[in-house]
Chains A and B, each alone.
Chain A
Amino acid sequence: MNATTILMRGLWKENPVFRLLLGLCPTLAVTTGVLNGLGMGLASTFVLICSNVMVSLLRSFIPKKVRIPAYIVVIASFVTVVDLVMHAYLFELHRSLGLFIPLIVVNCVILGRAEAFAGRNSAGWALLDGVGMGLGFTLGLMVLGAVRELLGSGSLLGVQILGDAAPRLLVMILPPGAFLTLGFLLAGMNALEEKRAIRAGEAYAPPREMDCGSCVLCRLHENLEQPD
């Protein structure tokens, strides 16, 4: 393992939004604008880093059989802290994201990283993994938000970019726009990956992560049966 790989893989190779397809609930719900995506991404990143480090430190204390409830308690606690602190000191942002903050608890990225990485590695690595995955998640949310804000309201970061003559696609800021944007972005990323693989002369296999059967959470049973 080396630090750069762990840090960078969250940005593209194992990007939580575009490659692992984890945490889609907040991804689809809050990305009506770049700013919302940034706020949600940073809040999730904070929770992810804290929970990764905490889970990693507690990994010998938490019994394997009750690790999922233990992880959830850790994650929910940090989410509540974020919610309270944002409410107190970032009132405006909290007003636009308020509804979605509690949803971070059920964001699979965080539980997924706790289960797949933090619970098996030392705190330093877990911290790096949290930073990388968190930034990758934030990046994904911002890209989605940028596309939807530009096409739907003709602005970026709240600043009008397209003139009044350009059509506004209302559907892009509504929930279906989230699915459409994500679908096109995923198709684009797959096409790029395929091209790269062919140019490099590698055999191209479609991303296995997109098959739900390979999701960590669907294989809890297998993991339980692994010897300690």
Chain B
Amino acid sequence: MSSISVLLIGIGLIAVSGLPVGLWRKGWSQILSVIIFVSGSLVGLAGTFLAFLSPEQPSISLPWALPWGQWSIAVDNLSAFFLVLVFSVPALGSIYSLGYWKQKEHPENGGRLGIFYGLLVAGMALVLIARDAALFLIVWEIMALSAYFTASVEDEKPEVRKAGLVYLVATHTGTLVLIAMFGLWASASGSTALASTASIPLETAGLIFVLAFVGFGFKAGFMPLHVWLPEAHANAPSHVSAVMSGVMLKMGIYGILRMLSLLTVSDLWWGILVLIVGSVTALLGIAFALGQQDLKKVLAYSSIENIGIILLGIGLALLGKFYHIPALVLLGLGGALFHVWNHGIFKSLLFLNSGAIIHGTHTRDMEKLGGLAKKMPWTAGLFIIGAVAISALPPLNGFAGEWLLYLGMFTTITAQATQAGPDIMLAGLTAVALAMTGALAVAAFVRLFSTIFLGAPRSDEVNHAHEGDLSMTIPMVLLASAALLLGLVPFVISPLLEAAVQAWHPEGVYIDEISSLAGQYWFPLFGGAILFLAGLGFIWYRVALHKKQNQEERLTWDCGYAKPTGRMQYTGTSFAQNLVRIFSFTLLPQKDRIRIRETFPQQERFSMKLPDLVLERWILPFFTWIAEKFKKAYALQQGQTYLYVLYIVIITILLFVVTTFGGSL
């Protein structure tokens, strides 16, 4: 059996995995669904592995009944790299749902969730292997719409409906741009097949690139196209958020990379554009994350930041392609792809974790939590692994990925690179942007972790908190182990990265190039040293200090105050206040306060929130304005079906007239 048929069997299993829970809506059928899903994922992984090993690119091309395109699929190493993510993270999410979204606790929507979860993941896998524009758009829509249905399962809540609507508008605007892009592609290259061609002139290629960048950008969610992302991620069930953020955003990245690999030409401004968008997205994404009170919105904005970091790598690779500097292509794209995996791992870990917190406390508001580490020690320990990894700190995987990106950035400033073109030195500045992003990420995740898990409880919710089931903890443990593994021995995935970069830019020679970076082989040493010495420190603390019997437990020293309470602690908002003030020129925080003026003042209050810059300040006012102007058009919309049928008939007749007599006019 060929690798591609194995792959298709896996995808098929995943696509139908929701049927048992959808049809019978019982606990046992949910377990059956999860078993089908996980086995489909394992089969898919096996198929991906076979495709990676096969010497020539496995592909199938069949005619179909549609007027355009054909049923054409193929797996190259770029697809394979993303497929691994699609077949691993959602499977863990599916196991997690057994404890998190129990069928007996959600009898009304568990079936719907199961069905569309399977379709979403199958759609993503098909997007990665589609090699025809028409097929691509079809499976892209399957993915986008299934994501809508999975994310808005709790549609009895108004905020879920609003988030779903914004998502639907954003994703279809993106699809619209993609249709234009593929139309242009088909007319320029002469066919809808997504195969590399040299016949496209540079100007057309530039237009295709911009359309692809914008169209896929709506899915990837970089600024200012991220508008749907924070609300949709916050309001979806947590394992769906994990899949959306950890995997689905990457489909946008994949789309951009795929189109770039098909266009053999490239221009200087492409790379510069991507670098600028990447830097702005990374900085603003994490700055907005700092000001959020909803713990899942913090994670959502941080996803935007990480997409920005991935874009920085793609921008470097484009510069390298333009200037013919293979090292830059390798480090840039290799770092970007490594970060695609890394973000898939630690962000889904954190989202699953947030699900456990919500499951245990029934709130998403971090200011109502605090001291949770005592009630949920496992969740706390796993969360801190995710938080350290996402802040790109050694010895975990985030650092290993950004290390490659930084090396790429610093390569641009050395003398060899500047001989190719002096402009390239500007790319070195992105290292400073990334460094600032890193420092902000530490601030954001110290704030998130500490406000939720450390200190004293801020409300009663915490006292009733409890750990989730084993089915929730095991997926998180696996993700945390992956973060540790890739941080300690990052060179294990170098062959995959090299193969994917090679598939993206066949002109260069990349095999064994990352593996030759000597620095990678020090990672196990210093990572191990950190862990070993920290372990030693804890043993010293336990043994030496406990034996002495001179350790006392007292109240926190609050400068002599005898009765400190949870409400006296620093809140997440106050923790971020200094930084929000520094960035207020772009964050534009909304403050609501009563100033104390009289001698006997009224009760004082202060609140601050950070509305989304693009959605709340540009897009919603714009649409309100449009709606105002188009009020007259309401006359056309009567809500009567026969009228709409009439419109269709009129349009059909008009089209008939135009096509019949149009030529003679």
Are A and B co-members of a single complex?
Answer: no
Binding site for A on B (CB under 8 A): none
